[in-house]
Amino acid sequence: MTPLQRLLLIPCLSPLLLTLLVAGLNLGKGGKLRILTWQLPTLPIGAWMAIAATTGAALGSGGALAASPQAPSLQREVRRPLDWPPEHSEPLEPPPSSSADAASVLWPERDVRDPAPTVSVPFRVIRRGSSQPETTPVTDKQTSTGSVAAAMNDSDDWNQPVGEDW
């Protein structure tokens, strides 16, 4: 037990000692203790105080001892023959990279203040409603590819092969 623990033992045990002192002064008059329908025998009030104080101290110290980390630490013992080659441990940190590795990183070639680039995503417009396919004006780009124009004029194009520029 460390000196600090010995010093803290006195204030921690003082409530128990004070209760036992008061219990010793009240041993003359007896009393019964009744808990719900259970009635305990007649004992002096000081005896009931001493029983309650020691029971509380025992339960409290038992809980504190159960919660204390005094369990032995697990240690591994390695036994090897004398001619066993020594182990080489890996360094915990990676070796520092050279400046050539840092220069080979490809960073974006645009300014930080420039807006994000626009991404072109292919999509298909699906219309519900009229059974007649709606005709749309054909642009120059659509006339250059026959598969796109055929897909635009066909009302049910789910089973048709899709071109590269749809």
Q: What is the pTM (predicted TM-score) of this model? A: 0.39
Residue 109 has pLDDT above 80, yes or no: no
Q: Concatenate the DSSP letters of all residues of 111-164 into one string.
A: -TTSPPPP----------S-SSPPP----HHHHH-HHHHHHHH-S--TTSPPPT
pLDDT of residue 103: 60
Judged against a pLDDT cut of 50, whether residue 142 lies above it is answered with no
CB half-sphere exposure, 97, CA atoms < 13 A = 7
pLDDT of residue 27: 86
Name the residue ranges covered by the structural domains of the chain: 14-53
CA dihedral in degrees (55, 60, 66, 72; nearest 10)? -100
pLDDT tens per residue across span 79-95: 888 887 777 766 666 66
